[in-house]
Amino acid sequence: MAIPLFSPKNPVSLAGRIRVLRDDFPVLREQIHGKPLVYFDNAATTQKPRPVIRVMSEYFEKQNANVHRGVHFLSELSTTLYEEARKTVADFLHASSPAEIIFTRGTTESINLIAQVLGQSLIQPGDEIILSELEHHSNIVPWQLLCERTGAQLRVIPILENGDLDYEAGMRLFGPKTRILALAHVSNALGTVNPLTSWIRRAHECGALVLIDGAQAIPHLPVDVADLDCDFYVFSGHKLYGPTGIGVLYGKSSWLERLPPWQGGGDMITSVTFQKTLYAAPPQRFEAGTPPIAQAIGIAEAIRYLKSVGYTDIQDQENRVADHALRRLREIPRIRLIGEPRERAAIVSFVLEGIHPHDVGTVLDQQGVAVRAGHHCAMPLMEHYRVPATVRASFAFYNTENEVDIMIEALEKAVELFGR
């Protein structure tokens, strides 16, 4: 059972509990340019705890074999571990069945999969696909490609200056031609947490299906796909303290059973002749070829680890660190915060007036502080705020307020270096 971070009955102090958790992440002990690593690039990828590293190493050392194909012991063991991982993910998301979980290479591939197969079966010229101004390129470009293939059109929900969706303007976009709503759960660039329920309900009233990009939400928020009632939910393992090279596509069985395969090959068929091929039922229909077996085992272990820490405690710690960062950043006169949404995940974006974000990022790196500087694969959002890029500090539960103070000192050095 997890030890609550802030329980009055917890005999371990807050600082002590965080130290215990940080010890699970070997990379956090590294020195960068002679300075202790302060890792604030968690929105790009989270660090990996020892249990995830261990189970993947054990798989390659003792269990490695292909799945679904062999009758020998190692193949059957690998198949069991792989399918147990699928069940772990299904339970984590509150899916109705493991058959609703498809393993992909990541969020990007999951969105491309759906955009590809819907183009074969659902989208017609003049149909409309609704996105938001907050979206990552991975939730823009696949839909643009679909529009180019089919003659459909994109409609874009604008944002308010604080980084929230413009509810009234967005709701006016829905109509009889709306076929798809593809929406981020959490903005990767601003940390905006979108209130999904009303948007999903409105899309379904129009007969449209809904895909939610959960890449940035899944490390910070508990997700219940049954409660959300979305048709598809996608995320990546490496943002969830798991390995790279694996993503998850949740799809309602009623939709998955209707959709054609998107890639052909082994394991997605029941019968092949030169005259006709019969395809397997979901999820195998969408998993052609050898799947990411070790990565699936790794993401399942990451989920178990995350649950052992507990989302309530994760949110408490991350909010504490993010709030401290916002307070300290406001002390620097030249800081301009980009987006101040009503509900924020543990992401803060800002610019230092007169200093390019890449230069800021370089100075911070010299002090051991890892942040992301750039457009964050959200160029339309950067255009909205009339900036070429921002500095993004994104936090995980293993980050501390002391690390924020180190970042602030490094930002003050950047101000001194580039002049006042």
Q: What is the pLDDT of residue 420?
A: 58
Q: How far apart are CA 115 and CA 340, in angstroms?
A: 31
pLDDT along the chain (420 residues), means of 10: 45 68 96 97 98 98 92 95 98 98 98 94 95 98 97 98 97 98 98 98 97 98 98 98 98 96 92 94 95 98 96 94 98 94 97 95 97 96 97 97 97 86
CA angle 317, 359, 133 (to 5 degrees): 60
User: Is domain 53-307 in CATH 3.40.640.10, yes or no?
Assistant: yes
- Specify whether 147 is catalytic: no
Token couple for 273: 């002749």
Read off the amino acid at residue 324.
H
Instruction: Report d(CA 93, CA 111) in Å as an integer.
Output: 18
286/279 Cα distance (integer angstroms): 10
Provide the pLDDT for residue 87.
98
Q: What CATH topology corresponds to 14-47+310-418?
A: Aspartate Aminotransferase, domain 1 (3.90.1150)
Q: Tell me 26's DSSP state.
A: G
Contact, 65 vs 74, CB < 8 A? yes
Domain range summary for the chain, segments of one domain joined by +:
14-47+310-418, 53-307
Q: Would 14-47+310-418 and 53-307 be classified into the same CATH topology?
A: no
Confirm if 77 and 64 have CB atoms less than 8 A apart: no
Name the catalytic one among 147, 206, 230, 377.
Answer: 377
